[in-house]
Amino acid sequence: DNQMTQSPSSLSASIGDRVTITCRASQGIRNDLGWFQQKPGKAPKRLIYAASSLQSGVPSRFSASGSGTEFTLTVSSLQPEDFATYYCLQYNTNPPTFGQGTEVEI
Amino acid sequence: QVQLQQWGAGLLKPSETLSLTCTVYGGSFSGYYWTWIRQPPGKGLEWIGEINHSGTTKYNPSLKSRVTISVDASKHQFSLRLSSVIAADTGFYFCARGRRRTPSNYGPFDIWGQGTMVTVSS
C-alpha cells in the first residue's frame, strides 16, 4: 500500500492564524490527492481534489499544493468552524489510502 | 443534488455478519463507482472496497477474504457484507461516491452517507 504520512499529528492555533498541514506519500502519486475535513460524529467533507482544486462551496481560505510525494494544505485565516481533523487521501493506486489525520485545536 | 442514505444493524456479536445498505438519490448511478469506508473509534479512515453499476468490484486486500459488496442498480443501492466480525471491526462505516467510471481528475469521495456506528461485542 502507498503510505500517507501527515504532519503534524495535532496542532494548536488561534482564530485568524495561518495553518499549514503536510502530507507525504511513500510512492509518487502525481496529483491524485484529496484533502478532507472531519468533525466529531460526522462524515468527512472533501475540501480539495487533484491536489489543488477547491471543492465547490468550500471557502477560499482553504488552498493546497503539491505533486509527486509532497503536498500541503493551508488555511489562510483560521475560523471557529475550521477546528476539526484533516486527512489527506491518495487515489493514485489501489487501495486508496488516507493519512493518519491532523487534529486542529484551539 | 446527490444524497446517500445508509442503514443497517448497529450491534453484532463476534462471528456474525455485518450488513449495511446505501441508497443513492439523484445524479448518475452508472457513472461512478460506489464505495465503503470505515473508521475505528478515535482512529483514521480505511477504504473497504468499491463497486460499479454492473457489479465490478475491488476490495482492500486487508479485508478481501471477509468482504462482499453487491449492487442493485435498479434501486440505486449497494450493500456491504463483512463476515466473521471481531471487536476490531467496531467503528463507523460510511458509504461514499467513488471515482468516475470515465477517466477524470475529479477524484473520489466527494459525497458521503451519514455513517453507521457498528459495535461488535459479546
Interval A42-98: pLDDT, tens: 999 999 999 999 999 999 999 999 999 999 999 999 999 999 999 999 999 999 999
| Cβ–Cβ contact A57 with B under 8 A | no
pLDDT over 90, % of chain A: 98
Say yes or no to pLDDT of A32 above 90.
Answer: yes
Q: Quick check: A106 pLDDT over 90? A: no
Distance from CA of A50 to the nearest CA of B (A): 6
A4-27 pLDDT, tens digit per residue, is 999 999 999 999 999 999 999 999
Q: How far is B86 from chain A (nearest CA, A)?
A: 22
Cβ-nearest to B45 among A31, A45, A98: A98
Q: Does B42 touch chain A (CB under 8 A)?
A: no
By C-alpha distance, the chain B residue nearest A46 is: B110
pLDDT value at A41 more than 90: yes
CA B12 – CA A106 distance, rounded (Å)? 37
For residues A32-48, average pLDDT = 97
Is B110 within 8 Å of A46 when comparing Cβ atoms?
yes
Is pLDDT of B57 > 90?
A: yes
Instruction: Kindly state the cell numbers that stand for B114.
Output: 451519514
> How many residue pairs bridge chain A and chain B with CB atoms within 8 Å of each other?
56
Q: Which of B44, B60, B62 sits opposite A101 (nearest CB)?
A: B44
Which tens digits make up the pLDDT trace of B59-105?
A: 999 999 999 999 999 999 999 999 999 999 999 999 999 999 998 88
Residue A99: closest CA among chain B residues belongs to which residue?
B44
C-beta contacts of B83-87 below 8 A and 24+ residues apart: B83/B17, B83/B18, B84/B15, B84/B17, B85/B12, B85/B14, B85/B15, B85/B16, B85/B17, B85/B18, B85/B120, B86/B14, B86/B120, B87/B14, B87/B120, B87/B121
For range B37-53, the mean pLDDT:
97
